Amino acid sequence: MWTLVGRGWGCARTLARWATGAALGPAPTFGAAPESWPTCRVYSSAEFKEKLDMSRFPVENIRNFSIVAHVDHGKSTLADRLLELTGTIDKTKNNKQVLDKLQVERERGITVKAQTASLFHNCEGKQYLLNLIDTPGHVDFSYEVSRSLSACQGVLLVVDANEGIQAQTVANFFLAFEAQLSVIPVINKIDLKNADPERVENQIEKVFDIPSDECIKISAKLGTNVESVLQAVIERIPPPKVHRKNPLRALVFDSTFDQYRGVIANVALFDGVVSKGDKIVSAHTQKTYEVSEVGVLNPNEQPTHKLYAGQVGYLIAGMKNVTEAQIGDTLYLHKQPVEPLPGFKSAKPMVFAGMYPVDQSEYNNLKSAIEKLTLNDSSVTVHRDSSLALGAGWRLGFLGLLHMEVFNQRLEQEYNASVILTTPTVPYKAVLSSSKLIKEYREKEITIINPAQFPDKSKVTEYLEPVVLGTIITPDEYTGKIMMLCEARRAVQKNMIFIDQNRVMLKYLFPLNEIVVDFYDSLKSLSSGYASFDYEDAGYQTAELVKMDILLNGNTVEELVTVVHKDKAHSIGKAICERLKDSLPRQLFEIAIQAAIGSKIIARETLPIFKNIFQYGGDITRKMKLLKRQAEGKKKLRKIGNVEVPKDAFIKVLKTQSSK
């Protein structure tokens, strides 16, 4: 819906005629513009609304909360119902995943980006401001959850009445518990045929030590009993502890990039007030900016006159460079410095992959796209890299494989960028042996994120590999198979707890490189989809690691170099050689595909020659002479011929086989 405004009726009519040709949608309404507005401009209906007066909400009437849960337990559906109940959005059948604004979220049916919405709710004659943050549920996006919790005083912990407590439910509870937030357990999907809310209540009481009578049973899909969730938010979650009379202190907990307005920072105000025209300073960069717009997300941007301490909203201040908006930064008023807020623990990348443009002429466009997307997803780390076969590019660090896939998909959808991604690897460490090397590297313990730079055994005293503490929750009938899978992945069992009569929680210490690619798929396959998995960083441990080269006719292919455990080198090398044999196009000469550790060949496959089929009607001796001459030519060609690996073969080759 569009509202056409202007000073004078003629201006509005001119705009109306222009809008009809511009196909802006439904018929416009007309209105008179305030004196401060430009003479002629098209405004959306949201802009034309009177700006909200946020001073109407005293601190005691504000509640900031997040919704956390395991994947597919109904967070986004509950958020939709809360938006409807408070009149933030109209009730329609199309209200599905309203806060999941990204195309990748709607396609995959998962939340990958935390989204904020300010709800206005009248309860017992009081007008409340409820700031809701809908968070992701997958382990790869737990950093989004931890950042969202910094702007909250409580959480709704949603648990599926059919599936019960899952691995990510446990992880999210402890994130909220460590942040000392109020936790309201919500048992969702009570309308399902096999729902057992009483069993889930007992699980919550046993695992989280929350009394079962504090659980709220709802069906977010049907809207059953959702009103009691709003009531619980008001009654059980405390208002923020802030001081409006103190100088401004705002925490940047998220940010997005708009090509017309620059950086849009999501902020939580801990002290003071901010309004349009204020001069603010970034504690991180010490740069000064003038605020051009403040507002709340309802769930779309709605400008307000001011934002007050205790409130969550957005702020635009002319930040044009993506490096200027640091997640965790503190903003304060010019000439009124304050003690910066603690910010966030920086995310630790668990998976690294090389990223290169398909065409090197697209390098600068891709660089700009990556910079803008990393502003929106600050958990991605970027290092410049280059390759003989693929040219200039980057080595990016991600929180997991799904995170990597989603980032790649967002690059394609939001920035129309086509990229080549190399095999995912994990960061290893090496303890250097000589003082000369320590002086050269300026540290005794070096981190290796690119397998091609893996140092030789003669230079180090020991190698270290990253390990994670994994939590698996599964029905007890699959326990034996899952334990065998974990042992095959070099895992060490730490704990085993029965959380009820039928479900087991297993804790294992895993080498990260054993689970990063296909462990989750294998786990789901073994447990018929019932087991859930979550992991957290557990440091490094000593390991027997080797660098494995892949050779084509004796030449090393740098992009296919991998770091593997000594015991698994043969099976992994054989699998890569077999896959390479299936992926490479045949040549006019035989190709030897080999996996090698140093000078020792541990696996080999041979790609046969591309044979010419021809019919020959002459004397057989002439035919034999021709074939002999052709064989000699191919032998010579094999000596001098370089094999070029097609770019599209890299990802196909380097996907780990499930038989690993």
Instruction: Provide the annotated binding site for GTP.
Output: 69-76, 134-138, 188-191
Under 8 Å between Cβ of 233 and 64 = no
Euclidean distance between CA atoms 527 and 440, whole angstroms: 50
The total number of residues written for the chain in this structure: 660
Omega within 30 of 0 (cis) for the link into 197 = no
Burial of 414 (C-beta count, 10 Å sphere; 0-12/13-18/19+):
middle
Q: Which residue numbers belong to the known binding site?
A: 69-76, 134-138, 188-191
Return the closest-CA partner of residue 297 out of 334, 258, 268, 332. Answer: 268
Angle between helices 401-415 and 363-376 (to 10 degrees): 120
Under 8 Å between Cβ of 513 and 465 = yes
Tell how far CA 476 is from the center of its chain. Answer: 31
Structure tokens at 559: 């992009």
Q: Which residues are registered as beta bridge partners of 351?
A: 398
Q: Write the DSSP assignment of 197-266 as a string of letters.
A: HHHHHHHHHHHH---GGG-EE-BTTTTBTTHHHHHHHHHHSPPP--BTTSPPEEEEEEEEEETTTEEEEE
Under 8 Å between Cβ of 406 and 107 = no
Under 8 Å between Cβ of 526 and 611 = no
Sheet containing 279-282, strands listed edge to edge, beginning at the edge strand earlier in sequence:
288-290, 279-282, 330-333, 249-258, 262-271, 312-316, 293-297, 301-303
Return the closest-CA partner of residue 168 out of 427, 487, 505, 511. Answer: 505
CA 366, 369, 373, 378 torsion-angle sign:
positive
Euclidean distance between CA atoms 400 and 394, whole angstroms: 17
Euclidean distance between CA atoms 140 and 289, whole angstroms: 34
Burial of 269 (C-beta count, 10 Å sphere; 0-12/13-18/19+):
buried
Q: Which helix (H) or strand (E) holds 514?
A: helix 512-515
User: Pairing mode, if any, of strands 216-217 and 182-188?
Assistant: parallel
